[in-house]
Amino acid sequence: MPEPATLVEKILARAAGRARVRPGELITVKVDLAYAHDSSGPRRWRPMLEALGTGLWDPEKVVLVSDHYVPAVDAESAEILKGVRAFVRDYGVGRFFDMEGIGHLVLPDHGLIQPGMVIAGGDSHTPMAGAFGTYAAGYGATDMAAIAATGETWLAAPRTLRVELEGELQPGVAAKDVMLSLCKRLGLDNAFAAVEYAGSVVARMSMPERMVLCNMAAELGAESGVVAPDAVTFAYLAERGRPVADEAAALALASDPGAEFAAVHRIDVSRLAPQIAAPHAPSNTDDVSAFEGVVIDQAYIGACVGAKIEDLRMAAEVLRGRRVAPGVRLLVAPASTRTTELASREGVLTTLLAAGAHLLPSGCGACAGYGAGVLAPGEVCISSTNRNFRGRMGAADAQVYLGSPYAVAAAAAAGRIVDPRAYLSAGRAAA
Amino acid sequence: MSEPAQGGRAFVFGDDIDTDLLAPGAYMKSSPDELASHCLEALDPDFARTVRPGDVVVGGRNFGLGSSREQAAVSLVRLGVSAVLAASFARIFWRNAMNLGLPALTLEPADLARIGQGDRLAVAAEAGEVRNLTRGEVYATAPVPPHLMAMIRDGGLIPHLKRRFASAAKEPRAPASGVAA
Ligand code: SF4
DSSP string, A314-380: HHHHHHTT--PPTT-EEEE--SBHHHHHHHHHHTHHHHHHHTTPEE--SSSGGGGTSSS--B-TT-E
pLDDT at B124: 94
Average pLDDT rounded to a whole number, residues A53-58 = 96
All residues at 6 or more sequence positions from B49 whose CB lies less than 8 Å from its CB, including other chains: B37
As a whole number, the mean pLDDT across chain A is 96
B67, B72, B74, B77 alpha-carbon torsion, rounded to 10°: -150
Distance B142 CA to ligand 1 centre (A): 33
Is residue A430 over pLDDT 70? no
Return the residue of B nearest to A281 by Cα.
B16
> Which pLDDT band, with edges at 50, 70 and 90, does A65 fall under?
very high
pLDDT at A15: 98
pLDDT at B176: 45
Q: Say how many CA atoms lie within 13 Å of B40 toward its Cβ.
A: 24
Comparing CA positions, the residue from A405, A393, A375, A386 lying closest to residue A297 is: A375
Nearest to B177 among A124, A152, A396 (CB): A152
Is residue A425 within 8 angstroms of chain B, CB to CB? no
Is residue A267 over pLDDT 60? yes
**What DSSP line would sit under B122-165, residue for residue?**
EEETTTTEEEETTTTEEEEBPPPPHHHHHHHHHTSHHHHHHHHH
| Angle, CA B109 vertex, CA B136 and CA B38 arms, to 5° | 90
- The larger pLDDT score, comparing residue A425 to residue A173, is at A173
Each residue's pLDDT tens digit, B39-52: 999 999 999 999 99
pLDDT at A51: 95
pLDDT at B168: 79
Is residue A220 over pLDDT 90? yes
Rounded to two decimals, what is the model's pTM?
0.94
The CATH architecture one would assign to domain A10-268 is 2-Layer Sandwich (3.30)
Distance CA B6, CA A149 (A): 40
Question: Which ipTM value was assigned to this complex?
Answer: 0.90
Task: Say how many C-beta atoms besides its own lie within 10 A of residue A151's C-beta.
Answer: 20
pLDDT at A89: 98
Average pLDDT rounded to a whole number, residues A268-293 = 98
Distance CA B90, CA B81 (A): 18
pLDDT at A129: 98
pLDDT at B173: 46
Average pLDDT rounded to a whole number, residues A334-346 = 98
A120-134, A198-212, A322-336, A387-401: range with lowest mean pLDDT = A387-401
| Chain A residues 105-134 with CB within 8 Å of chain B | 122-124, 126
pLDDT along chain B (181 residues), means of 10: 67 96 92 96 96 97 95 97 97 96 96 97 95 97 91 93 84 46 31
Is residue A58 within 8 angstroms of chain B, CB to CB? no
How far does B145 lie from chain A, in Å, by closest CA? 9
User: In chain B, what are the domains?
Assistant: 8-169 (3.20.19.10)
Q: What is the DSSP letter of A130?
A: G
Show the beta-strand stretches assigned E in B19-103. 56-58, 83-86
Domain A277-425 homologous superfamily, CATH = Aconitase, domain 3 (3.30.499.10)
Element (H, E) at A248: helix A247-251
DSSP-derived 3-state class of residue A226: strand
Domain pair A10-268 / A277-425, same fold: yes
Distance CA A245, CA A243 (A): 6
Distance B162 CA to ligand 1 centre (A): 32
How far does A259 lie from chain B, in Å, by closest CA? 24
Scored b (16 or more CB within 10 A) or e, B63-72 reads bbbbbbbbbb
Record: contact A221-B145, CB cut-off 8 A? no
Q: What is the DSSP letter of A246?
A: -
Average pLDDT rounded to a whole number, residues A243-265 = 98
Average pLDDT rounded to a whole number, residues A400-422 = 98
Distance CA A178, CA A163 (A): 11
With beta carbons less than 8 A apart as the criterion, state whether B10 and B116 touch: yes
| Chain A residues 77-106 with CB within 8 Å of chain B | 77, 80
With beta carbons less than 8 A apart as the criterion, state whether B6 and B119 touch: no
Is residue A297 over pLDDT 90? yes
Comparing CA positions, the residue from B171, B148, B37 lying closest to residue B100 is: B148
DSSP-derived 3-state class of residue B13: coil
pLDDT at B167: 82
Distance CA B159, CA A266 (A): 46
Distance B36 CA to ligand 1 centre (A): 22
Q: How far is CA A134 from CA A11, A119, A184, B38, in A?
A: 7, 7, 25, 37
pLDDT at B179: 42
